Structure 1
Amino acid sequence: MTTRVALEAAQAALAAEHAAVYGYGVVGGRVGLARRSEATAAYTAHRARRDALARTVRDMGGRPTVAAAAYALPFEVPDGAAAVRLAAELEDRVAGVYSDLVRASEGPLRREAAGALREAAVRAVRWRGSGVAFPGLAERA
């Protein structure tokens, strides 16, 4: 794998983590009290992944993608049920970019990306209540 391809995939994963952090801000504000700690844990996990990816991009010689001021949500989130759907969607999107990073990288970065893919897939199942056969692979979903 070329460093350029891996760097582009890492930048895409970083951008997805920025969006997930934003999205979980919305989820946390709308999800019911029973699932608020789950939303907080996911928010914290995505912030940690985001920060680690920013360091990785710098270590690869890149300039980390910065967060946007706001992100368009895939649908309106007026209540707790919609917040749960949004959380599952966020995890699906993150899993997709980590799948790309797994394909584009090797060594420690590939292991980290595989771990992040697994974590996103597990969170998506928890939010949705069901899983998909090949998380992160749109062509297999």
Structure 2
Amino acid sequence: MSATPTTTQAVEAVQAALAAEHAAVYGYGVVGGRVADERRDEARQAYDAHRSRRDALERTVRGLGAAPVAAAAAYALPFPVPDGAAAVRLAAELEDRVAGVYSDVVRAATGPLRREAAAALREAAVRSVRWRGRGVAFPGLAELTTPATSRKQ
């Protein structure tokens, strides 16, 4: 049986989720500037969703007695985003990363915070599927989404 999550673990996980949301808001600024017109509304909705989650997480961190981690002035993108196709790949990558940190919050939190993190993980996974056109078996759990043949033995 595993130990009950501590407040410190929850704060650390929520801070990581907040940092990921800051990065996602930044990343969706890039996506929105490069994505094709027919997907621009989808990018705007995702941007708004991440801003809303970011704002809620800042309140949650304060409620847990900590100071929210600040956004960086800029973020390094995981790859160049010169066109609409790359913007779509970036959007899917952003959602995968957000899902991963929310899975950590699910593990570290209890009660309403855990339920909210699970909902955020689900939303990110759904957006990832929409951007990518396919899903993964265990969204938010990178170690379980890599094909078995490419994992270290």
Match of 2:86 among 73, 82, 85: 82
Does the alignment pair 1:49 with 2:49? no
Whole-Å Cα distance in 2 between the matches of residues 115 and 62 of structure 1?
Answer: 23
Matched residue type, 1:58: R
Shift of 1:60: 0.1
Spell out structure 1 runs of 4+ moving beyond 4 A.
none
Match of 2:8 among 4, 13, 21: 4
Shift of 1:57: 0.1
Whole-Å Cα distance in 2 between the matches of residues 50 and 75 of structure 1?
Answer: 23
Shift of 1:139: 1.3
Identity of aligned residues (%): 79
> Which blocks of at least 5 consecutive residues in structure 1 are unaligned?
none
Kindly name which structure, 1 or 2, has the bigger radius of gyration based on alpha carbons.
Answer: 2
| Alignment-derived partner of residue 105 in structure 2 | 101
Shift of 1:100: 0.3
| Alignment-derived partner of residue 136 in structure 2 | 132
The RMSD of aligned alpha carbons is: 0.3
Number of corresponding residues: 141
Whole-Å Cα distance in 2 between the matches of residues 14 and 108 of structure 1?
Answer: 17
SS of equivalent residue, structure 1 residue 46: helix
Match of 1:58 among 59, 62, 86: 62
